[in-house]
A and B are shown apart, each in its own frame.
Chain A
Amino acid sequence: MEQVYKKYLNPRVLTRVSALELKARQVVEGIITGLHKSPYHGISVEFAEHREYVPGDEIKHIDWRVYARSDRFFIKQYEEETNMRGYILLDTSESMLYGSKKTSKLEYGSLLAASLSYLLLQQRDSCGLVTFDSAIRNYLPPRNNPKHFNLILRELELAKNGVKTEIGKVFHDLAERFKKRGLIIIISDLLCDIEKTLLGLSHFKHKKHEVVVFHVLDRAEITFPFEEMTLFKGYEEKGDVLAEAWSLKQGYLENLNKFMAEIKKGCLGKKVDYVPLVTDEPLELKLSKYLTARTGRH
């Protein structure tokens, strides 16, 4: 277990994230405060502010203490306390195994998943983990006890790769399965049908979830640094291509950029946070940058 900790809890990432803790918490709270007003009143609600009574307001919400002091009617307004459910959806399809350097996309994604889990649990939020390829391979429901982090790490360690990716189908399944609204964090290379992927995202949005997509790609996939005659052996039974790599470079990059632009556009259109990540970039930097930016937005 110690090895698993070492593998997924990168001290630099954790240090950076911990340093951002307050901010992160605010961010997290901010996210909830801004997006998920509580529909309930009870022990779990917390006073937010006073508002002058207007006819039509329920009398039970009048703060009698304020009336006693000021002889005026004020309504107490409450907000739901942070009790966010974070669902981390990690793509474990075969294509995630690609890595031109030491780190594969899956390893990078797992590290990200672990870091985010750590962050959520540290903020006393519930955190769940779903691994999927063409179907849901494992599902850890959201919990907020610290022991749950061990389960998440074990699950990341044991995650097995499937062959194909069918994000759309998996997202539809999950959208139906997640009964309570929460924050859905998708970690994937999204190398599948773009329309189905966007439909899946729409489904989450339809269920009032907030969605963040971490689009993980390898540096080689972005720059296509090949020149010589190369046999490209495709993952996920996509077949092989033997060609002088230089001759395909331009077309490939055009297709990739078009794909990324469409994904980005689709996400923005659906108010989904889209965070492109490259596996050779320091995760701590990218993550802190995203969280900081997010704080600024809310």
Chain B
Amino acid sequence: MFGFTVLNPFLLFFTLLAAIPVLIHLFHRRRFKEVRWAAMDFLLKAQKKSKSLLKLRHLLLLLLRCLAVIFIVLAVSQPLIKAPSGLGLGGKSSTYSIIIIDNSYSMGEKIENRQLFDKAKEKAADILGMLKTGDSVSLVTAGWKAKAVISEPTYQLSAARKEIESLKIGNAGNDLGGALQLAAALIKKKNEISKEIYIISDCQASAFRSEENNIKNAFAELSGKAAIFLVKTGNFNPGNNAVTNVTFSRELVDMVMPVRIMAEVTNFSKKDSLDCIASLYIEDKLRDSKRLLVRSGKTEPVAFYQKFTESGINTGYIEISADPLMKDNRVYFCVNVKGAVPVLVVDGKPGKKKFEGEGGFLSFVFNPFGAEDIGKKSVISAVVKDFRALSADALSGVKVVVLSNISFLPEETVMPLDSFVRGGNGILVFAGDLTNPQYMNSRFYREKSGLLPCVIGEKILPKEDGGTFFIDKVNTEHPLLAKFKESEIKELKKARFASFYELKYDASDPSVTILASFNNGMPAIMTKKCGKGNTIIVATGANRRWSDLVIKPMFLPLVYESVYYLSSGTEERRNLKIGDKLSRTISFSEAQSARLLTPDRRPAVYRSSISPEGRVLDYDGTDEPGFYRLYLGDKSDAYSVNLDTKNESNTERVDKMFLLKIAPKEKFYFIEDGEDTRRLITQGRKGIGIWKELILLAVLLLALESYLAYKFGKRT
């Protein structure tokens, strides 16, 4: 049944004013003029004829006037119609309210110089002000990850108010689904008749859509158990630009070659952004700025070319010009700039002349201009060693070992090589005339436990004389090959191979990846992840007899990138997202003085555990964007933490239709920004206001009365 109530019941007393038209009528009847009259017969006849009709007309007009007065009095007393299945809200019984405040970083958007989050807090305080003594309240934040700030309902509304005031805006996305589930769990514990949930959010469309199922399920769970008020903050969407991604053109960043730092700027607004300026800062110093045009809803790349001058950990960020939501305008990065990459080339068939063996050839490839080149034109410093002279000590200080045309190695170097790779270094294997598959398989494949990704099989020759093979498929999704342009990949495919070794691999092994395949489907280049390091095997030899790849322009960058890739295996994961775990293994001695500081230079409390490699530091509280710095004695390291801008930076608001689709059918009230929150909540609690309709009705009745009075003869 529909209920009916009024906000100002005492005003109903004035419905007695409806008697005024009756009194006026009676008074009017008592005030008459007296006339002596001769032609009474005609008057009596007229009266007799129209008496009943007149009476009816009088009654009708009187009724209209009385109703008009009643409707006006009712309108003034603010009547509310209560929907069926009312939950007894706003009555005399105590109410349990849960206030959910969205503190995702999009709430930091400023509209008319006012942050949405401040508005949200103000609305929450307003809602608290509507609660009465005896009502209890809980407070939940809906930024990732949803958290019950006040889980145990408090009756001290002033304490809740203080909690609301102290709330801070988060740096993550929205977790409204989680917040509602938390609310559902809290609701279950309370026995109050009246239960209300207030959600104060900017109602981001992306957040609602990505969390649609969670929110829908939570709404379904709450349906009928509590009245839900969704209070929207920020009706107007001023638009937002965000730096959504930053990538480096190379894995290995050195001081020799400039690296391309590519930032992606996304315009989430409905209008083109014409004068967006992106700036690159390294160690807090502005290095470059670029103006860019970002079309509405598009992502625009912007490239900065930076040559680092300091080896070691460099920090920087890319920032775009100011807009209403500042938090996502900056993306931090940390990069370990290499001073030099020592490479040991182990030659299986050393020649007396410079280019006689593959080792000599590869040595030339790495340092074409000799020793002066190192550190000026290339960070790679290659040393060629005879395979027989290889020892475990030779591996010291080396980042990458290139095994070329190896028939066998001194036995005492096999295990050190294994440890060498697993410790974060790399091996690049070229086949060759002297390659002994049996030896290699037994020492370096070892039934998938070794360094090789595959079993080296038989040598494959073309079926007819003069025939060749070529590379048909290239795995451009792999980080090593993803950096190459399409033209460079085409160049790679043009290379012709006279023969190669068959590489047999286990397709189910997740650590193994095929980087390129021949036209007969057999692998040409394969890689395997071993511990912290990687190995790469090329199915052919690094000389002209095996293929013309070595004389192709593509060969040089391919080998360089392979070395960079293999040498970066030891790199820590330095660029994290908010909420990611920061993990670092350090030696036991370093652990003595380890200190982790948050971006605002506060000491961070991390967890510590022991592993075979040393002491593992784990820190889960990466909830602030910026640089987290780890101090290990006199050494320091840095980690960048950034916002996940994928969804949260899109500040487009969800439309009401969508909300009504997922919201409960009953007791769900959506309050737009700018609407009178207090009034609408009161209406929601008690019913729908109908005063405007009543005023309209009263006006219509009076108009009808005037018309009828005119129609009946004369306005009375």
Please list the residues of chain A having a beta carbon within 8 angstroms of any beta carbon in chain B. Answer: 94-98, 105, 189, 191, 218, 221, 226-236, 238-239, 241-244, 246-252, 254-256, 259
Taking a contact as CB atoms under 8 Å apart, the answer to whether A242 and B714 are in contact is no
Q: Is B449 an interface residue (CB 8 A)?
A: no
B28 to chain A, nearest CB (A): 6
Interface residue from A189, A229, A242, A247 paired with B38 (Cβ < 8 Å): A189
Main secondary structure of the interface of A (DSSP, over half): mixed
Please list the residues of chain B having a beta carbon within 8 angstroms of any beta carbon in chain A. Answer: 28-29, 31-47, 49-50, 54, 712-714, 716
Interface residue from B38, B43, B712, B716 paired with A252 (Cβ < 8 Å): B43
User: Which residues of chain B are near A229, meaning CB under 8 Å?
Assistant: 28-29, 31-33
A61 to chain B, nearest CB (A): 56
Q: Given that A229-B32, A229-B33 are known contacts, is A218 also in contact with B38, CB under 8 Å in the complex?
A: yes
User: Which residues of chain A are near B42, meaning CB under 8 Å?
Assistant: 251-252, 255-256, 259
Chain B residue with the shortest CB-CB distance to A96? B38
Taking a contact as CB atoms under 8 Å apart, the answer to whether A232 and B54 are in contact is no
Taking a contact as CB atoms under 8 Å apart, the answer to whether A98 and B44 are in contact is no
Taking a contact as CB atoms under 8 Å apart, the answer to whether B32 and A235 are in contact is no
User: Which residues of chain B are near A241, meaning CB under 8 Å?
Assistant: 37, 40, 43-44, 47
Taking a contact as CB atoms under 8 Å apart, the answer to whether B38 and A98 are in contact is yes
Chain B residue with the shortest CB-CB distance to A222? B39
Taking a contact as CB atoms under 8 Å apart, the answer to whether B43 and A232 are in contact is yes
Q: Given that A234-B40, A239-B44, A241-B44 are known contacts, is A248 also in contact with B33, CB under 8 Å in the complex?
A: no
Taking a contact as CB atoms under 8 Å apart, the answer to whether B35 and A95 are in contact is no
Taking a contact as CB atoms under 8 Å apart, the answer to whether B41 and A232 are in contact is no
A221 to chain B, nearest CB (A): 5
User: Which residues of chain B are near A98, meaning CB under 8 Å?
Assistant: 36-38
List the 4 closest A-B pairs by CB distance, nearest first: A251-B46, A234-B40, A238-B40, A255-B42
Chosen A-B contacts, 25 in total, with CB atoms closer than 8 Å, are A96-B38, A97-B36, A189-B38, A191-B39, A229-B28, A231-B34, A234-B38, A235-B38, A235-B40, A236-B38, A239-B44, A242-B29, A243-B47, A247-B54, A247-B712, A247-B713, A248-B46, A249-B713, A251-B42, A251-B50, A252-B42, A252-B43, A252-B46, A256-B42, A259-B42
Taking a contact as CB atoms under 8 Å apart, the answer to whether B50 and A231 are in contact is no
User: Which residues of chain A are near B41, meaning CB under 8 Å?
Assistant: 191, 238, 255
Beyond A228-B32, A256-B42, 18 additional pairs, beta carbon < 8 A: A227-B714, A229-B29, A229-B31, A231-B32, A231-B34, A233-B37, A238-B40, A238-B41, A241-B43, A242-B32, A243-B47, A244-B716, A247-B50, A247-B54, A248-B50, A251-B47, A255-B41, A256-B39
User: Which residues of chain B are near A234, meaning CB under 8 Å?
Assistant: 37-38, 40, 43
Chain A residue with the shortest CB-CB distance to B715? A246
User: Which residues of chain B are near A247, meaning CB under 8 Å?
Assistant: 50, 54, 712-713
B417 to chain A, nearest CB (A): 120
In the bound assembly, the distance between CA atoms of A228 and B28 in angstroms comes to 9
User: Which residues of chain A are near B32, meaning CB under 8 Å?
Assistant: 228-231, 242
Taking a contact as CB atoms under 8 Å apart, the answer to whether B38 and A255 are in contact is no
Interface residue from A218, A230, A255 paired with B46 (Cβ < 8 Å): A255
User: Which residues of chain B are near A95, meaning CB under 8 Å?
Assistant: 38-39
In the bound assembly, the distance between CA atoms of A236 and B32 in angstroms comes to 22
User: Which residues of chain B are near A255, meaning CB under 8 Å?
Assistant: 41-42, 45-46
Chain A residue with the shortest CB-CB distance to B50? A251
Taking a contact as CB atoms under 8 Å apart, the answer to whether B35 and A233 are in contact is yes
User: Which residues of chain A are near B31, meaning CB under 8 Å?
Assistant: 229
Taking a contact as CB atoms under 8 Å apart, the answer to whether A191 and B43 are in contact is no
In the bound assembly, the distance between CA atoms of A97 and B38 in angstroms comes to 8
In the bound assembly, the distance between CA atoms of A236 and B36 in angstroms comes to 11
Taking a contact as CB atoms under 8 Å apart, the answer to whether A250 and B36 are in contact is no
Taking a contact as CB atoms under 8 Å apart, the answer to whether B38 and A230 are in contact is no
In the bound assembly, the distance between CA atoms of A235 and B28 in angstroms comes to 25
Q: Given that A238-B44, A255-B45 are known contacts, is A228 also in contact with B33, CB under 8 Å in the complex?
A: yes
A257 to chain B, nearest CB (A): 9
Q: Identify the interface centre among B34, B42, B47: most chain A CB within 10 Å of its CB.
A: B42
A246 to chain B, nearest CB (A): 5
Taking a contact as CB atoms under 8 Å apart, the answer to whether A250 and B713 are in contact is yes
In the bound assembly, the distance between CA atoms of A6 and B68 in angstroms comes to 62
Taking a contact as CB atoms under 8 Å apart, the answer to whether A246 and B33 are in contact is no
Taking a contact as CB atoms under 8 Å apart, the answer to whether A233 and B34 are in contact is yes
User: Which residues of chain A are near B28, meaning CB under 8 Å?
Assistant: 229
User: Which residues of chain B are near A252, meaning CB under 8 Å?
Assistant: 39, 42-43, 46
B418 to chain A, nearest CB (A): 118
Taking a contact as CB atoms under 8 Å apart, the answer to whether B38 and A105 are in contact is yes
Interface residue from A232, A249, A251 paired with B40 (Cβ < 8 Å): A232
User: Which residues of chain B are near A251, meaning CB under 8 Å?
Assistant: 42, 45-47, 49-50
A98 to chain B, nearest CB (A): 4
In the bound assembly, the distance between CA atoms of A271 and B82 in angstroms comes to 81
User: Which residues of chain A are near B716, meaning CB under 8 Å?
Assistant: 244, 246
User: Which residues of chain A are near B35, meaning CB under 8 Å?
Assistant: 226, 230-233
In the bound assembly, the distance between CA atoms of A247 and B56 in angstroms comes to 12
User: Which residues of chain B are near A231, meaning CB under 8 Å?
Assistant: 32-35
User: Which residues of chain B are near A189, meaning CB under 8 Å?
Assistant: 38-39
